Structure 1
Amino acid sequence: MAALPWLGRALLSVAPRAAVGMRTSGLRPSPPHHLAKVSWRPPLTGLTSRTVFTGGAKLGRATYPSYTNVAFVPKRAPITGLRKACERLTTRSFSSKALLGPKGLAGVALPVGRRLLSTTAMASASSMSSSAFTGAMTEASRRSVGRWLALCSAWVFSMVVLGGVTRLTRSGLSMTEWRFAGERPPITLEDWRQEFAKYRASPEFKKVNMSMTLEEFKFIYWMEYAHRMWGRVLGLVFALPFAYYSATRQLSGPLSRRLLVLFALGGGQGLVGWWMVKSGLQEPERKTDTPRVSPYRLAAHLTSAFAIYSGLVWTTLQVLRPTGLGEDCVGEVARRNASRLGRHLRPFALLVGCTAISGAFVAGLDAGHAYNTFPLMGDPPSFFPQDYWLEANELGFLRNAFENTCAVQFHHRCLALTTLTAATALLAVHGRRRLPVESRRLLYCLCGVAWGQVGLGITTLLTYVPVHLGSAHQAGALTLMSVVLAAVYGVRAPARAATTARRAAAAAAGAAPKPSPAVI
């Protein structure tokens, strides 16, 4: 027991700001932690120092060193158990005087014995999100792969817009056959006549385009052909660089697996597209119906396209910005606000996706050409139209909700207005709070794009869906989804840091050493 007073003197003799000799090894974003060797000489004789390590964490453009753990124990402890107790109780925390104060990244003043737990967890919080994808990649490889993925994302964006133009010009049923390797376009006049003869046998020509000429058929044929070939070229743009990066070992394992899944979804998208087109080449169930593709299959086709695009955009952000977008979010208040914003942005992203899918049903039923008034619809005009249950007895309640023109357009209107209200509420609630600069900009951009998209949709409806406005409206949906994904990704690193801080503080509180009884 005589060693306990000596232990107290040893603890009191070490200042919290004790100088340490540190030799760093260049702190860079990848890999996330670079170790620096620390040597420290104990202030009292009879003690032995232990060589320990410290790390630097990259959070945005600033580098924050984690706390250094320095332990000292007596060279000759009277009892082995006492030596271990001294080793546990005399663990002290030190920080670099240049960037951090004694409170640490968590922003919570902790006792010296508990400070290391919180700050070590916080130092690594910013690099946890995307390290699995970029940890083994060099800076040059990361930028090259990120630009390639950004190109693929832009290609998918143009592919979806081109598909919308194909739908608006009623060109999707002009090609009555589909081959996986691609179709050879007609060259001679005889080739064109053969293709036109195939189209003339389709229900769409017999009921809608009976007076179409060969020259008019060429236009819709080239539209559908361009849409198909644009997708096949996209496959090459994705597959060839992927093979090169894989052969040169520039892709990590998790990133390669995700890209393979996206490539498989892209290949299956062609099959889904042909499955959709086949539904339009069959006779409709009711003779009074206009031949068109199934709205369910059209919605599946558009949903898979949005899923592929969202996956590419998200992966691009993870590769190009592995530390997230909230570079200036260092304070605890900003981290908590970012965490709250992230909890609200995720259901908002789901709402945007549901609104886009409902738009696919509007396009599949040509519902935009009916009820061209706003905000009221129907005759007599009302917010809730009387024709909503018009086909409920014949189709049933569930099918009426997805196949009745009035019901489909009403659902799309309600979802669009709900999305607009939610975007405005997000800005009103979170815009006044302290947030990272980029997250704040994305929040304002999100609200602006939502207002522009709703305004564009109303204009498209009132003008009876011209091709240029209809395609711009579909591009606006993709733009809104892109901004939402960027906003969700931007708050992930600060939000995760806030969660880590709370857990670390709770763990530190639970691990606080209990006061030992007085020794008599």
Structure 2
Amino acid sequence: MAVAASTEGMPLARVPQVQSLNAVRIWIYALAALVVLMVAVGGATRLTGSGLSITEWRPVTGAIPPLSEQAWLVEFEKYKQISQYELVNKGMTLSEFKFIYAWEWGHRQLGRLIGLVFFLPLVWFWARGAIKGRLALTLLGIGALGGLQGAIGWIMVASGLEPGMTAVAPIKLTLHLTVASIILACLVWVAAGLKDRSAAGPEAPAGAAPRILVGLVLFQIALGGLVAGSKAGLTYNTWPLMDGALVPPASALFAVKPWIENFVDNVVLVQFNHRLVAYLLVGFALWHAWALQRRAPGSGAAARARAVAGLALAQMVLGVVTLLLVVPLWAGLAHQVLAMAVLAMAVVHARVSTVRA
């Protein structure tokens, strides 16, 4: 019914092409949903301390979990050799190890599933001629980025397996999360651009603001990765003040030498930066929504801008709640997933504004 409605009044020669592109668009949005699920499972893996439970990278054979008690004991023994076990989890039972192993195994398995859901339909659509030219090259580029993301994931895990380390390096966790977010943004950008809008008239121009919003959201997600990686959310659990001040003293913000390392290793500056960019992002999104509503009331652009602003504001409120509650699992996951929703909505807004300008 939806396809029929979208092709009503269209030349018959164009109908199969539009139907094929609709199928491709649905497939890409399904991939985007899987990426969001991957980010959520990755967040749960981190918050449950499960990310170092599998100490080897076996892209093919690693798909099969331990199937016997002896196999489980072998995996458990490997985990006992790393610093996280010795310094954090020493004395844990086999059943407790199975719990953290399940999270990490599920995260890796979901990555394999995304690979299959990407490449098998890609080959099928390409063979049928639904994907070609620039679209094909773009999707291949996204696929290559996905492969790189798998390698980055292992580099991140390997950083936590080094002697003396009990968690992954914050900068590598940030890179892993940021690349996942870029993949999501690329998928949504492509999918939003495939929707047939030939029957819709041009909108009031939105200018560069929608793309600036996308950049700000990606930057804020990266800063959130640093907060997660350094566990900065477990400190200074008050708002709007930090240790009794709106702006912590410079001696606290830049306590680490050399000064550049404060942006990654100093929990005071890491959390403060995340707060500042949140204010900037929400303020800019609200201003953009207000400006478009004045310029083009009732337009699709104004509605999308309001949606971005509303989601960004909700995300900031959820971030404050997460901080005040000292990052319970449910709040940490909700904050991470809502960040992906803000990013996706911002990308749709930017893409549609570009197509219809």
TM-score by length of 1: 0.64
Q: How does 1:412-431 map to 2 (within 5 A)?
A: 412-431=274-293
Q: How does 1:324-473 map to 2 (within 5 A)?
A: 327-329=200-202, 335=203, 338-339=204-205, 341-378=206-243, 381-386=244-249, 389-390=251-252, 392=254, 394-434=256-296, 437-473=299-335
Please say if residues 373 and 461 of structure 1, whose CA atoms lie closer than 8 Å, have aligned partners that are also in contact: yes
Q: How does 1:56-455 map to 2 (within 5 A)?
A: 138-183=17-62, 184-284=64-164, 291-321=166-196, 323=198, 327-329=200-202, 335=203, 338-339=204-205, 341-378=206-243, 381-386=244-249, 389-390=251-252, 392=254, 394-434=256-296, 437-455=299-317
Query: Partners in 2 of 1:203 and 1:423 — Cα distance?
Result: 44
Query: Partners in 2 of 1:301 and 1:186 — Cα distance?
Result: 27
Please say if residues 137 and 251 of structure 1, whose CA atoms lie closer than 8 Å, have aligned partners that are also in contact: no
* Residue 490 of structure 1: how far off its partner (Å): 2.2
Residues 494 and 257 of structure 1: is their aligned pair in 2 closer, same or farther, counting only changes over 3 Å? closer
The amino acid of 1:300's aligned partner reads L
- Deviation sequence 1:58-113 (CA, Å, 0-9, x none): xxxxxxxxxxxxxxxxxxxxxxxxxxxxxxxxxxxxxxxxxxxxxxxxxxxxxxxx
* Residue 323 of structure 1: how far off its partner (Å): 4.5
Please say if residues 254 and 269 of structure 2, whose CA atoms lie closer than 8 Å, have aligned partners that are also in contact: no
* Residue 322 of structure 1: how far off its partner (Å): 5.4
* Residue 424 of structure 1: how far off its partner (Å): 1.4
Residue segments in structure 1 that go unaligned for 5+ positions in a row = 1-25, 32-134, 285-289, 330-334, 496-520
Aligned length: 349
- Deviation sequence 1:355-407 (CA, Å, 0-9, x none): 110000000001111110111112xx111224x54484653111112210111
Please say if residues 141 and 250 of structure 1, whose CA atoms lie closer than 8 Å, have aligned partners that are also in contact: yes
- Deviation sequence 1:31-73 (CA, Å, 0-9, x none): 8xxxxxxxxxxxxxxxxxxxxxxxxxxxxxxxxxxxxxxxxxx
Query: Partners in 1 of 2:135 and 2:197 — Cα distance?
Result: 12
Query: Partners in 1 of 2:20 and 2:256 — Cα distance?
Result: 59
Please say if residues 328 and 437 of structure 1, whose CA atoms lie closer than 8 Å, have aligned partners that are also in contact: no
* Residue 420 of structure 1: how far off its partner (Å): 1.1
Q: Which has the larger radius of gyration?
A: 1
Query: Partners in 1 of 2:150 and 2:198 — Cα distance?
Result: 35
RCO comparison, higher one (Cα < 8 Å, 6+): 2
Residues 30 and 161 of structure 1: is their aligned pair in 2 closer, same or farther, counting only changes over 3 Å? farther
* Residue 328 of structure 1: how far off its partner (Å): 4.6
Aligned-CA RMSD value: 2.1
Query: Partners in 2 of 1:321 and 1:165 — Cα distance?
Result: 37
Query: Partners in 2 of 1:363 and 1:195 — Cα distance?
Result: 27
* Residue 437 of structure 1: how far off its partner (Å): 2.8
* Residue 317 of structure 1: how far off its partner (Å): 0.9
Query: Partners in 2 of 1:300 and 1:174 — Cα distance?
Result: 20
Residues 451 and 254 of structure 1: is their aligned pair in 2 closer, same or farther, counting only changes over 3 Å? same
Query: Partners in 2 of 1:481 and 1:269 — Cα distance?
Result: 18
Please say if residues 299 and 361 of structure 1, whose CA atoms lie closer than 8 Å, have aligned partners that are also in contact: yes
Query: Partners in 2 of 1:391 and 1:411 — Cα distance?
Result: 10
Residues 322 and 232 of structure 1: is their aligned pair in 2 closer, same or farther, counting only changes over 3 Å? farther
Identity %: 36
- Deviation sequence 1:403-456 (CA, Å, 0-9, x none): 101110010011111111111111222222225632222111111111110000
Aligned partner of residue 255 in structure 1, secondary structure: helix
Please say if residues 389 and 400 of structure 1, whose CA atoms lie closer than 8 Å, have aligned partners that are also in contact: no
For 2:10, the equivalent position in structure 1 comes to 28
1:474 aligns with 2:353: no
- Deviation sequence 1:171-190 (CA, Å, 0-9, x none): 10110001121412112111
Please say if residues 22 and 195 of structure 2, whose CA atoms lie closer than 8 Å, have aligned partners that are also in contact: yes
Greater fraction of residues in helix? 2
Please say if residues 230 and 264 of structure 2, whose CA atoms lie closer than 8 Å, have aligned partners that are also in contact: no
Residue segments in structure 2 that go unaligned for 5+ positions in a row = 1-7
